[in-house]
Structure 1
């Protein structure tokens, strides 16, 4: 199981912080965080339910992380494993996360898919979201996965939808001509855009668009190259006998 003890900074003041796997006793706090993090017009039916959270801790506890500041849960991040084909990336949030219930979690999947990340608004100046993301990268490396992948909302897009396409909006954010609360944050966390996804999630602010963004495991290719070379040498040895 995962546990990381760090300090975050409130201006110049170090604040003790713990990142760990969440458990059933945390459910009520996690639901409150959802309510604070995603107020209307975000659909309230997309907030976590106890049944969904129970599936998270039962089916893939490694992908159920929370962050505590001075003993209070201030944010959470949830993922599941999927077998992702980069040649066929199209999907919706509902399809790939089983509407947040993750009953489709594949223990043998090659990709950790982000179901959700949320931080209580009163704690957002402490950089907790980035620490949660970095911790989920730890899980990707530890499990030897190819990548972390997820759909990033575009909550600033509704202000520009009459002027540009979603693809043009993303390009403007990447160039630094515009800043988006979510996409810019994900770029700062090391995520890179894969494609714009239409009708990804019912989200008025994003006009139902999302940007699929990934983080590739920098150890994955080298690890498997070593394994492949070893297999080749073993076969050569067998044939020479």
Structure 2
């Protein structure tokens, strides 16, 4: 898969952009981008390592996407296929993604699950995250899956935890009275909330909370 397009700065300046599947030659750059995106206090052991990246490429290459801007690696998005049970939404990032190694990938599953999306801070005004998300939606359609799923960190929750429960915080974001860097971004990408996840990922900003958010395949009935 390779998608060529132009992305634009807020001032309207175009940049040649390519979205493609990543490969071994990209691994060092992908790890560098993780470090840029998730500085301390985010635990560095949760950045990608080369064994994880090798598994992504080997087990589900359709879900191992990266984006280049003018030939420079600028971001990535990774997914796997799972068999999701809507009656049991609670899970942790560790258990559903196999700690990022995606040995839990199930080719016969019904949903594409987002492991990670990262865009280098230098390129965040180009809308690359939305383009990566749109491309992963296309993978969902191509494979005939029911939905795209993923846990979005409630990265602004730590500032409001004394006032709101996690569910109340989500409701404030949905009402437009608060904006969350991650949840609001996912809403703008077309994702909708399913459930608040407790102890999803070790993360001080969200106090370990996330929102399970989905995009349903519009080409399937129901």
**Fold similarity call, TM over 0.5:** yes
Match status 1:210 vs 2:210: yes
Give the TM-score taking structure 2 as reference length: 0.99
Provide structure 2 residue ranges, at least 5 long, that are not aligned to the other structure.
none
**Counterpart residue number, 1:47:** 47
Measure the CA separation in 1 of the matches of 2:83 and 2:104: 10
**Counterpart residue number, 1:8:** 7
What are the superposed Cα offsets for residues 136-172 of structure 1, whole Å, 9 maximum, x if unpaired? 0000000000000000001100000011100000000
**Counterpart residue number, 1:230:** none
What are the superposed Cα offsets for residues 48-91 of structure 1, whole Å, 9 maximum, x if unpaired? 00000000000000000000000001000000000001111111
Measure the CA separation in 2 of the matches of 1:132 and 1:144: 19
Measure the CA separation in 2 of the matches of 1:72 and 1:144: 32
Indicate the RMSD between aligned Cα atoms, in angstroms: 0.7
Q: CA deviation at 1:14?
A: 1.1
Match status 1:68 vs 2:53: no
Measure the CA separation in 1 of the matches of 2:41 and 2:28: 22
**Counterpart residue number, 1:158:** 158
**Counterpart residue number, 2:92:** 92
Provide structure 1 residue ranges, at least 5 long, that are not aligned to the other structure.
223-241
Give the TM-score taking structure 1 as reference length: 0.91
Q: CA deviation at 1:221?
A: 1.4
2:114 aligns to what SS in structure 1? Answer: strand
**Counterpart residue number, 2:25:** 25
Q: CA deviation at 1:220?
A: 1.5
Q: CA deviation at 1:8?
A: 0.4
Measure the CA separation in 2 of the matches of 1:204 and 1:33: 20
Measure the CA separation in 2 of the matches of 1:221 and 1:182: 29
Measure the CA separation in 2 of the matches of 1:221 and 1:91: 27
